[in-house]
Amino acid sequence: MENIKTAQVYKQMLKWQLLATISVAVLVFILAKIIGVASPEHAAISALCGGMSAVIGGIAGALIAKSGDKKNNAGAILITMLKAEAVKIFVIALLLFLTFKLYNEHLVPIALILGLAASAILSGAAFFGLDKK
């Protein structure tokens, strides 16, 4: 089995997350324009806010996880990974809270959840991209 660099994993993850976020934002913009339930601009911005929360959380987690690259002990690596995951969840929850508090007036909640879900789920798609290489 080939040795995959951790930095390569983060880059793949980030690429998939950004792609998912932008796709959902465009999709929501078009849907809102066709259906006319919410303002298309605000729906797209809401989707971007949701997706970018997951992206920024992922970057924060990756920065912490990167520090465990030089360790050879499996236990120490695992502790670093769990710390990174805790930081990631905290950052995502904080950014979502700020979005709901500061952008409350024009927020389209369904678009935000869609952007967040697409970004969070598709980060795992990087796994299959790595297997192809």
Partner 1 sequence: MEAVQFLATIQAYTGIGIGLIIGLGAAGACIGIGIMCASFLEGAARQPEMIPALQGKVFLLLGLIDASFIIGVGLAMMFAFANPLLSVVPH
Binding residues for partner 1 (CB under 8 A): 1-6, 8-10, 13, 50, 54, 57-58, 61-62, 65, 68-69, 72, 74-75, 77-78, 81-82, 84-85, 88-89, 92-93, 96-97, 100-101, 104, 107, 109, 112-113, 116-117, 120-121, 123-124, 126-127, 130
> Least separation, in Å, of the C-beta of 78 and partner 1?
6
Please list, in sequence order, all residues whose beta carbon lies within 8 angstroms of the beta carbon of residue 57, skipping any fewer than 6 positions away: 88, 89, 91, 92, 95
| Cβ closest to partner 1, residue 13 vs residue 24 | 13
Residue type, 122: L
| Cβ closest to partner 1, residue 31 vs residue 91 | 91
Question: Which is nearest to 120 in space by CA: 47, 55, 59?
Answer: 55
Q: What share of the chain is helix, strand, coil (3-state, %, to 5)?
A: 85, 0, 15
| Cβ closest to partner 1, residue 43 vs residue 116 | 116
